[in-house]
Structure 1
Amino acid sequence: MQYMVSKPRWMRKLYGPCIWELDTGRREAFLTFDDGPHPSLTPFVLDELAKYGAKGTFFCIGSNIERYPEIYARIRAEGHGVGNHTHDHLDGWRTANKRYYANVQQAAGLIGSRLFRPPHGHVTPFQVRRLRSRGYEFQVVMWSIMSGDFDPQTSAEQCFRNVADHLRPGSIVVLHDNDAAEANLRAALPRLLSEFSRQGYHFPAIPERLLY
């Protein structure tokens, strides 16, 4: 599977006004988890984050919240951030706009967050502008580091290195709490938390209201 660990700045500009990193002026980075809640992996992630006093931001699929409401409730109760990842993991490049926006709104009724991440990172500049407009008012959050945890051709060691070799203050890291990522995430996440906590990093949730 082909993916870019970090998109160059010229490519980021093609998407429109999205958030790719968030430098707070402190030694902070942002761990994000796409596609959950997952019945076994999301609780593992929550347990690992708790060991380091870290917070994640979980971009959830609405239909998975319906399947596992108790896990979503735990994410919120433990103070983590949440964001909208559509109701059915729709691809913005391959879905009619009307259906796409309706699916985002369906998920919004369950998630209650103004943070939005497009599945696969597939979103057009027009869709970004519409999602940010009055009536939607989403902040479209992308990433500066793709871990590759979902890729069967990426080992747990390479997943760790993809993040460790690129992480700096303000980085937004994409990880996944889904079946495809489980083996890599279980191996890489504890190492990342241990290594970068030792280096003095903190891991807050992405705030729901951002200016850019």
Structure 2
Amino acid sequence: MFYFIQPPWWLKKLYPACIWEMETDEKVIYLTFDDGPHLQATPFVLDELKRHDAKATFFCIGKNVARHSDIYRRIVHEGHRTGNHTFHHMNGWKANDTAYLKDIAAAREYIDSGLFRPPYGKITKWQVRHLTDAFKMKVIMWSVLSADFDAKVTPETCLKNVMLGAKPGSIVVFHDSEKAWRNIAYALPKVLMHFSERGYRFEKINL
């Protein structure tokens, strides 16, 4: 499995309509969580965020929102932002364009948000253009990938990825999911403590 912990400049240039980081001079980091809601991971994440008075953005899968609507309501109630992550976690490079957009529209029935993140970070330029023009959505990518989803990545490496990569304005990706649970349970509390002690705030994406 190959992926970039920090996307290279040329990838950002290929997708200029996508948002890769937030412009700010302040010590603010934007934590994001993909693939939830999850019965165990999401409440843990919410508890940790509350402990540090932190806000975040949750890119939710529509079918998981339908299954765990109570956890989704808690995300919203506690002041976090939500985003669309398709209904079935579809890969934009492999999916038929019509089917892909239909899946996003199905998720919109459950997720009221103008933010979208493509599963696997895989989306075509045509899909980006249609989402931004027709759906009026903003496509949010990231500047730091924790790699918590990778079974070969240790919790310590997951933590190091964020510690070394995050800076003011960074959009950081974690996953509130089954496969990421071991890594996020270790890394998230330490990330929150480390950056809080250094004067950082954690905010949701407001676009």
Name the TM tier (shorter chain). Answer: over 0.9
* Matched letter for residue 187 of structure 2: A
Where structure 2 has 5 or more consecutive residues not aligned to the other structure, the ranges are none
Q: What residue is the counterpart of 1:147 in the other structure?
A: 146
Aligned partners of 1:12 and 1:91: how far apart in 2? 19
Aligned partners of 2:144 and 2:79: how far apart in 1? 23
Q: What residue is the counterpart of 2:62 in the other structure?
A: 62
Cα deviation for residue 25 of structure 1 reads 2.0
Aligned partners of 1:104 and 1:48: how far apart in 2? 29
Q: What residue is the counterpart of 1:15 in the other structure?
A: 15
Q: What residue is the counterpart of 1:93 in the other structure?
A: 93
Where structure 1 has 5 or more consecutive residues not aligned to the other structure, the ranges are none
Equivalences for 1:116-135 in 2 at 5 Å? Answer: 116-134=116-134
Scaled by the length of structure 2, the TM-score of the pair is: 0.98
* SS of equivalent residue, structure 2 residue 21: coil
Cα deviation for residue 79 of structure 1 reads 0.3
Give yes or no for contact 1:16–1:125 (8 Å, CA) kept in 2.
Answer: no
- Report how many aligned residue pairs link the two structures: 207
Q: What residue is the counterpart of 1:103 in the other structure?
A: 103
Aligned partners of 1:16 and 1:104: how far apart in 2? 21
Equivalences for 1:184-195 in 2 at 5 Å? Answer: 184-195=183-194
Give yes or no for contact 1:15–1:123 (8 Å, CA) kept in 2.
Answer: no
* Matched letter for residue 161 of structure 1: K
Aligned partners of 1:204 and 1:151: how far apart in 2? 26
* More divergent stretch after superposition (12-21 vs 136-145): 12-21
Scaled by the length of structure 1, the TM-score of the pair is: 0.96
Give yes or no for contact 1:34–1:58 (8 Å, CA) kept in 2.
Answer: yes
Give yes or no for contact 1:146–1:163 (8 Å, CA) kept in 2.
Answer: yes
Aligned partners of 1:105 and 1:16: how far apart in 2? 23
Aligned partners of 1:2 and 1:9: how far apart in 2? 17
1:133-192, Cα deviation, whole Å (9 max, x unpaired): 13x001000000010001011000000000100110000000001111000000000000
Cα deviation for residue 16 of structure 1 reads 3.9
Aligned partners of 1:97 and 1:166: how far apart in 2? 33
Aligned partners of 1:16 and 1:88: how far apart in 2? 26
Q: Is 1:138 equivalent to 2:137 in the alignment? A: yes
Q: What residue is the counterpart of 2:200 in the other structure?
A: 201
- Quote the RMSD (CA, aligned, Å): 0.7
Cα deviation for residue 126 of structure 1 reads 1.1
Q: Is 1:166 equivalent to 2:165 in the alignment? A: yes
Runs of 4+ in 1 over 2 A off after TM superposition: none
Aligned partners of 1:48 and 1:11: how far apart in 2? 32
